[in-house]
A and B are shown apart, each in its own frame.
Chain A
Amino acid sequence: QQQVRQSPQSLTVWEGETAILNCSYENSAFDYFPWYQQFPGEGPALLISILSVSDKKEDGRFTIFFNKREKKLSLHIADSQPGDSATYFCAASAGNAGAKLTFGGGTRLTVRP
């Protein structure tokens, strides 16, 4: 049973558009949600993260929107660039589980020039 789900599995957008990647979770104890970015042949790297006490987190072109009631969050990538083409993983952890992360299945983003 996958506790963190992502959709869509793959997404293609044109350069300059906003890409929207979705994530949902089941465990109400999850309170920390990082997004990791992975390029082919590399390990994932932290992109942006949010705590459940917030409903929005911005970092440049990347924004997380968080809805605690619906157990959903989304990553918005504004003004998408070809260099943003990568796989994005939503993850979650519960405060009582320390740093142990549960990952979603990932969304492969392609940005066409």
Chain B
Amino acid sequence: EAAVTQSPRNKVAVTGGKVTLSCNQTNNHNNMYWYRQDTGHGLRLIHYSYGAGSTEKGDIPDGYKASRPSQENFSLILELATPSQTSVYFCASGLGGRGDTQYFGPGTRLLVL
């Protein structure tokens, strides 16, 4: 069974503060993804990675950085958090390639005050 975990599960941050969301996968998948989920918008891709050391911009990367220090770990960094970044964030992993299945973590609920 695919296993993707996220921490923290809930986070309250202040405007202008730095926030780091962490993701760990034990599937040995090459690809990892960060999405945010907002009502009416579905899931929108922020950053993704093809393997350790690689990060790529997704569809909405502004205000976010990503880091992939190892095959297992992928972090999303908000250097200067803003209230518009209040959302639910999901990490996913997959083997990559056409028709790939993405396995999602349980999500992190972030509130920026």
Which B residues touch A43, using CB under 8 A? 4, 90, 92, 104-107
Which A residues touch B107, using CB under 8 A? 41-43
Docked pose: A98 CA to B51 CA in angstroms? 14
Interface residues on chain A, number (Cβ under 8 Å): 26
**Quick check: is A51 within 8 A (CB to CB) of the other chain?**
yes
**Within the complex, which residue of B31, B94, B98, B102 is in contact with A95, where a contact is CB–CB below 8 Å?**
B98
Per-residue A-contact encoding for B79-113, CB less than 8 Å = 1, 0 else: 00000000000101011111111111111000000
In this complex, what residue of B is CB-closest to A97? B98
**Quick check: is A85 within 8 A (CB to CB) of the other chain?**
no
Interface size band for B: 20 to 34
**Quick check: is B44 within 8 A (CB to CB) of the other chain?**
yes
- A100 with B42: CB separation less than 8 A: no
- A103 with B43: CB separation less than 8 A: yes
- Tell me how far the C-beta of B41 lies from the nearest C-beta in chain A, rounded to whole angstroms: 6
- Tell me how far the C-beta of A8 lies from the nearest C-beta in chain B, rounded to whole angstroms: 13
- A100 with B104: CB separation less than 8 A: no
- A105 with B106: CB separation less than 8 A: no
Interface positions of A (Cβ within 8 A of B): 4, 6, 9, 31-32, 34, 41-46, 49, 51, 89, 93, 95, 98-106
Interface positions of B (Cβ within 8 A of A): 4, 31, 35, 40-45, 48, 58-59, 90, 92, 94-107
